[in-house]
Amino acid sequence: MSFKPLFSRSLGAAPGRLHMAAHSHHLWPDASFDGQVECWTDAARLADAKWDRIMGEVWPEAQRHVAEELGTGRSDAIVFAGNTHDFLVRLAAACPRRAGQPLRILTSDGEFHSARRQFARWTESGDIALAVVATEPFADFQQRFVQAASTGRYDLILVSQLLFGSGRVFTALEPLAALADPTGPWVVIDGYHSFMAIDGPFAKTLGEKAFFLAGGYKYAMAGEGMGLMHCPPGFGQRPPITGWYAEFADLTLAPGMVGYAKDAMRFMGATFDASALYRFNAVRRMLQSHGLTTTTISEQVAALHRRLLEAIADTPLGRAELLNPLTGGPHARFLAFRSPQAQRWQAELMTHGCVTDVRGDVLRVGLGLYHDADDVDAFAGLAAQLGN
C-alpha cells in the first residue's frame, strides 16, 4: 500500500525528484501544512490569548504524544525547545560537578555535530574535561562504553541510541541508566534518530533516571523548531540557564524570587515559536486516523530495505560495505554504505535528481512513509549506472 497521497504537497512541489533521504530532511506530510495554518489562524483569532490555548491545549497534547511514543507514560516529564542544542547547554550548566573542576563528560566519536562541536569548543575553553570512546570496532563498543561510564570519573554521560553516521543501534541503555543519580553522574540519551523510528525507544524504567533528547525534524515529520527532552524526576531542580517560562506555572512569586516548576518545565526557556508543536500534533493525528504506528511504518520501511538491497546487489553500491545490516531487530530508517566512492556517488545521483546524503566515506539512503516499491526500483536503476 502506498501512502504517497498523504504527502501530495511535498511530492507535487518537485515531481521530478527522487528523495531518498528521509533520515536527513523527512518530507512533510500534508497534515503539517494544516497544522501550520492552524497556528497562524489561532494567532490571528486569539491574539494575546493564543498563549492560553498553546500552553493549555497544544503543549499538553504534544507532551502526551511524546510520552506515548517513548513508552514512559510521563507527559509531565516532557519539555520542548527550539532545538536539542538548547538542551545540551542547559544540561551542561545544571549538571553537578566537583567544586573548582570542569565538568567531566563521557561521550562517543559517533555523536551528531550539536554535541561534537559544542563539546570540542568547551574543551578548548577549559569548561569541560572530555573523554571520547571510539565506536569502531562496533562489536565491543557498547561494552567499552559502559565500562568507561562505570568508572565513576564522569559527571555527564551522553551517547546516541542510534548512531547518525552508521545507523548502528546502541542497546545497552539499562546499565547506563542504572549509573545515574541526581548528584551525578547524569545520563543523557540522544534519541534523534530513534524517536518515531524505533518502537518504544525509552521505557518507563529508563525514564526514571535518564534524560532523552530528540526532535521533530526527522521521523516525527514535523520539521524544525521542536527539540524535546524527557527529564527524570529529581534531576536538576534549579537549572542555572533559565527562561521565564520555567516559572510559568506560578506568576504570583514575589519580585526578585527565582521560582521553578516542579515538572519538566523547570528546564524551559522563554517565548518560543509554537508552530512546530501544531505541526507535530497534526501529524500525530494523521497517523492515528490511518492506523499508522512506528511499528507499522518500520515494517513497511524494512520491506523496502530488503527490496533495495536485493535490487542493488549487482551494482557498484551493492558491493560497498553495509554498516547496518538487516538483522530483524530495531533498525535505522536508513542504510549506510561505506566506500571510498561515497562522495562521488552522492554527486552522481544528484545529477539525476536523486537526493541521498554523505558523511565522509558513508553514503546514507533513507526511506520513509512516502516511499514505495517504484521508488526503490527507480533508485536501483540509478545505482546500476554509478561508476566503480
Residue 314 sits in a domain whose CATH number is 3.90.1150.10
CA 344 to chain CA mean position, Å? 28
Q: Which of 236, 259, 286 is the last residue of a domain?
A: 286
User: Under 8 Å CB-to-CB from 241, ≥6 apart: which residues?
Assistant: 89, 90, 93, 94
pLDDT at 191: 97
Question: Coil, strand or helix: which one is 30?
Answer: helix
**What is the band of 196 on the pLDDT scale with cuts at 50, 70, 90?**
very high
Q: Both 64 and 153 in a single domain?
A: yes
Q: What is the DSSP letter of 177?
A: H
Q: Yes or no: say if 195 and 26 are a contact pair by the CB < 8 Å rule.
A: no
Q: Is the pLDDT of residue 369 over 60?
A: yes
Residue 276 located in a structural domain: yes
Residue 241 located in a structural domain: yes
Count of domains in the chain?
2
Q: What is the per-residue pLDDT across 320-346, written as a single tens digit (0 to 9) for each?
A: 999 999 998 899 999 999 999 999 999
Q: Both 120 and 157 in a single domain?
A: yes
Q: Both 219 and 128 in a single domain?
A: yes
Whether this prediction's pTM lies above 0.75 is answered by yes
Q: Both 327 and 201 in a single domain?
A: no
Q: Which of 224, 255, 286 is the last residue of a domain?
A: 286
Q: What angle do CA 374, 377, 382 make, to 5 degrees?
A: 125
Query: pLDDT above 90 covers what percent of the chain?
Result: 92
Q: Is the pLDDT of residue 142 over 90?
A: yes
Q: Both 13 and 41 in a single domain?
A: no
Q: What is the per-residue pLDDT across 219-260, written as a single tens digit (0 to 9) for each?
A: 999 999 999 999 999 999 999 999 988 987 665 566 677 889
Q: Both 301 and 273 in a single domain?
A: no
What is the mean predicted confidence (pLDDT) over 32-58?
A: 97
Can you read off the three cell numbers belonging to residue 157? Answer: 554521560
Q: Both 15 and 113 in a single domain?
A: no
Residue 388 located in a structural domain: no
Residue 271 located in a structural domain: yes
pLDDT at 375: 98
pLDDT at 250: 60
Residue 302 belongs to domain spanning: 4-28+292-383
Q: Both 255 and 313 in a single domain?
A: no
Rounded Cα–Cα distance for residues 10 and 366 (Å): 16
Residue 66 sits in a domain whose CATH number is 3.40.640.10
Element housing 247 (H / E): none
Q: Both 42 and 92 in a single domain?
A: yes
Q: Both 257 and 332 in a single domain?
A: no
Q: Both 213 and 351 in a single domain?
A: no
Residue 144 located in a structural domain: yes
Q: Which of 286, 303, 331 is the last residue of a domain?
A: 286
Residue 166 located in a structural domain: yes
Q: Both 161 and 248 in a single domain?
A: yes
